[in-house]
Every structure is written in C-alpha cells, then in structure tokens.
C-alpha cells in the first residue's frame, strides 16, 4: 500500500535575525530560570542539597551534550537543505533525527539509572551531599531521554523559523516546573515533602508535558511534513551529513563540559564553601552570556540558510555584525551584574563566607564573559557553514592542553582557589574566540557546505 501523501503546511516566514533571536533569548532565559528556581528552592532545603544537584547536573549536562550530536547536526543540515529549496529531503532528515535521538536517549537513560551510584563514587562526595546526589541522579538521569527528544524537536522547530512558538512551549514548561517544585520540594497541596527527590520528579513531569506539545507543534510548522516511513528509513547519506556536523559539535561541547567536570573535581578539594560558591556564581553568570548564546543560535539558522542558498558574502557579514552586538551587550550586562553582585548572591545564601567568595568570582566575570561572547557567536556560525571539525581541534588545544594545566597551577600550586579556576576558563575563552575570529575572517569555511553545488544551483535564487 502506498504511503499517504505528504501534507503541506504554511510556508515558514522569511528569516530575519532579530525576529529569530528574541524568542530564542526568551526561551533560553526560561530554561535558565528553571535551573535557577531549582537552586533557589533547594537552597531552602540546605546548601548541601544545592551542591549535590550541581554535581549531578554536571553529569547530566555531559549526557545531554552526547545526545546533541543529532540535534546539532540535523538542525544545520536541515537549514542548508531549506536554504537550497529542498523541503522534502529536509522532512526526511528531520524524521531520521528524531528516531536517532530517541534510541540514543534511551541508552543514556539506562546508563545513568544503572550506573549512577558508581559514577558518583568517583566525585569525592561525602555525607548529606552524596545522599542527595544519589536520589537526584536516579530520577533525573533515568528520564533524560525526554530531554533528548525535546532538544532535537525544538531545534528543528527553530530551524524552520518558528522560534516564537518554541518559546511559548518553554514558557508553559517552566510555569509547570515551578509549580511542581513548590509542591514536591516543600510538600504543598497535600503532597509529601520530597526535597531533592521532588525537584527531580518535577523536572521529569514538566519535560514529559512539553514533549507532547513540541511533537504536535513540529507537524504544524513544517512546509512538507514527515510520514511514518521517514522515521524508519535510515539513509546513509543523511546520517553521514548529520554526523559530519553533529559529532564535531558534540565533541567540542563534550570537551568543554568534561573540562568543567575536572574543574569541579578541583573544587571538591577546596571544601563545601567553594563548592556552593561555584554553583551560585554559575547560576548568576549564565544570565550574562544569555544574549550571546541567543544571537549565536539565531545567527546559525540564518548563516545555514544563506550557505545553502549560495550567499556566502551575506553569511560572512551577518556573523560579524552579530558578533558586535553580542560583545557590546554582554559587557553592559556584566557590568550591571558586578555592581549588583552582593544583593544577587544574597538571594541564594546568607552564609557570609559563601557570599564573599562568590562575589569575588563574579568580579572576574567581565574578563571571562567578554571572551565567551566571541565563542558563542562564531562557533555557531562556523558549524552552520559546515566547518565543525576545526572547532574540535581548537577546543582540544585550548581547553585540554592549556586551560586544565593552567587551572591546576593556579588552584593547587599558587593556591588562588576558586578565582584561579575562573581565570583559567577565561584564558581558554579568549584563545578560542580570537582563533575563531581569524578563521571566520579567512573564509576557509566556504569550502565546507553540506549541500553539493549542483543541488544548490537549482534554487539559489530562493535565498533572495
């Protein structure tokens, strides 16, 4: 029997960077607020609870990065195919990406569920912190496959140009998460007081609900929709293209977060005050680089389509213009955070030692975040152009060969403690940012397109 005919949905609107970026900004803000709400509410349980969830989330972040192999790769490939006017292929790639990430997510969930205690045993955790961490990883880790599906589907929705719709779903998920946190962490509405376990359950419930809405929405925004056979048709060509971008992007991010895990291991030797201070400082600093992250993601969508439509000059100018805005706004936000650092840290803790150490670290954020803004824009632009392998080589050189040894020297030899880690991370951000800037200016990325020139030539005029 023939498969049902593909149904056309309204074509995506013309892409403009601002129209793409502001919903991404709000969506990322909402995700960060979800993490901050966990930190704030768990600080009402104890500083040990906050530290435990921070350690587990470091591992969960690593797992999400592994699962982002498919999310990153498919979004770039789909963007270039859409730019080349090849919507039927874009739909087939989207369906294949969803199946791949589901299978990968189930495997990762099983590993965290079965081996969570073994993983935590190597992190130098003790007492109440260890107990909280074990409770959190069993639930949050066991249901991480939900996040795998959310990541790939939301990335595809944004790639089709519907960033605002994705933002609305994130808003609903965050509202639900905060309500569930309030009910389950502290035992309101007749529910038991579960503490850290309640935060993990709340995360799972909100993700499951959001996933249902994301699936429905994806079908609504596609100009050519997926059919059942697309989910089980494993094209070697499409898989190769997804992995060509996705694997280097994930390896680069995996390298970054692996180094952050090593730095976290350094911090465990500095004591509970440093461990809690690190978590609070990171909870605040994520809002500093939020705009750079949003504009980097929006730039990737636009650059990917421009490259697919044979418009490299426009892509070149777009990324550099985005970089100017990202650096300027990041510096302004960071200066504001530095001025308000004491009341901001005071939202999380009343411990004088933690407040003082966290405030010292935030002072160094101006150096760190200005360099990070270069990376967040240019690394996304390079990936969108298909030049993902270069970012991996640079990540290993800068992070592993330079930043980690420098951090060890500053923390343990010079005894600079937690500020030494911030300086080591800042050195890495600036080294990679400047190298990526030179790479973009060299235009070597123009030779890395994922859609063959003969495929592009037919529809290049669609790019405008």
pLDDT by residue, tens only, the chain of 464 residues: 444 444 443 433 445 677 777 888 887 777 777 666 666 777 666 777 777 777 777 778 778 877 888 887 888 888 888 877 888 888 898 999 999 999 999 998 998 888 877 777 776 666 777 777 877 888 888 888 998 999 899 889 988 888 788 888 888 888 888 888 888 888 888 788 887 788 888 888 888 999 999 999 998 888 888 888 888 888 888 888 888 888 887 788 778 878 888 998 898 888 888 888 888 888 888 888 888 888 988 898 888 888 888 888 888 999 999 999 999 999 999 999 999 988 988 887 888 888 989 999 999 888 899 899 999 999 989 988 888 889 888 989 999 999 999 999 999 999 898 999 999 999 999 999 999 999 999 998 888 776 665 444 444 333 33
Would you call 224 helix, strand, or coil by DSSP? Answer: strand
Closest CA to 387 of 238, 252, 235: 252
User: What tokens were used for 412?
Assistant: 């343990």
Q: Which helix (DSSP H) or strand (DSSP E) does residue 77 occupy?
A: helix 47-83
Distance CA 31, CA 37 (A): 10
Residues 6+ apart with CB under 8 A from 150: 207, 210, 211, 214
SS3 content of the chain, % helix, strand, coil (to 5): 80, 0, 20
Question: Helices 145-159 and 196-221, interaxial angle, to 10°?
Answer: 30
pTM: 0.72
Residues 6+ apart with CB under 8 A from 365: 281, 285, 288, 334, 337, 338, 422
């Amino acid at each position: 029997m023939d498969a049902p005919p593909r149904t056309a949905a309204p074509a995506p609107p013309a892409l403009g960077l601002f129209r793409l970026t502001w919903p991404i900004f709000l969506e990322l803000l909402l995700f960060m607020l979800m993490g901050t709400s966990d930190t704030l509410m768990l600080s009402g349980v104890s500083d040990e609870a906050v530290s435990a969830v921070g350690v587990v989330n470091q591992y969960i972040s690593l797992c999400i990065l592994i699962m982002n192999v498919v999310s990153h790769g498919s979004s770039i490939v789909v963007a270039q195919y859409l730019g080349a006017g090849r919507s039927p292929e874009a739909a087939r790639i989207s369906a294949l990406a969803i199946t791949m990430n589901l299978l990968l997510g189930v495997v990762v969930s099983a590993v965290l569920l079965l081996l969570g205690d073994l993983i935590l045993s190597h992190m130098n955790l003790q007492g109440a912190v260890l107990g909280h961490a074990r409770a959190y990883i069993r639930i949050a880790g066991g249901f991480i496959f939900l996040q795998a599906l959310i990541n790939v589907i939301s990335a595809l929705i944004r790639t089709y140009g519907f960033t605002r719709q994705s933002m609305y779903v994130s808003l609903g998920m965050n509202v639900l998460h905060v309500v569930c946190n309030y009910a389950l962490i502290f035992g309101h509405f007749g529910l038991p007081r579960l503490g850290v376990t309640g935060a993990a359950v709340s995360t799972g419930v909100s993700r499951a609900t959001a996933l249902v809405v994301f699936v429905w929405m994806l079908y609504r925004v596609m100009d050519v929709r997926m059919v059942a056979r697309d989910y089980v048709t494993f094209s070697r060509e499409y898989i190769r293209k997804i992995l060509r971008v996705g694997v280097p992007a994930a390896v680069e991010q995996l390298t970054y977060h692996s180094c952050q895990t090593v730095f976290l291991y350094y911090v465990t030797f500095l004591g509970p005050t440093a461990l809690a201070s690190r978590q609070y400082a990171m909870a605040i600093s994520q809002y500093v680089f939020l705009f750079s992250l949003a504009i980097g993601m929006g730039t990737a969508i636009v650059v990917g389509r421009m490259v697919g439509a044979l418009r490299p000059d426009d892509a070149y100018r777009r990324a550099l213009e985005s970089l100017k805005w990202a650096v300027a706004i990041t510096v302004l936000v960071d200066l504001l955070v530095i001025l308000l650092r004491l009341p901001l840290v005071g939202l999380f803790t009343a411990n004088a030692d933690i407040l003082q150490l966290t405030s010292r670290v935030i002072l160094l954020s101006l150096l760190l975040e200005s360099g990070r803004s270069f990376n967040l824009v240019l690394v996304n632009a390079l990936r969108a152009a298909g030049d993902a392998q270069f970012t991996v080589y640079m990540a290993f050189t800068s992070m592993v060969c330079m930043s980690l040894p420098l951090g060890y020297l500053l923390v343990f030899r010079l005894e600079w403690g937690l500020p030494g880690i911030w300086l080591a991370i800042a050195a890495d951000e600036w080294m990679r940012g400047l190298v990526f800037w030179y790479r973009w200016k060299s235009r070597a990325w123009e030779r890395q397109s994922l859609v063959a020139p003969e495929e592009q030539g037919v529809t290049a005029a669609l790019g405008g």
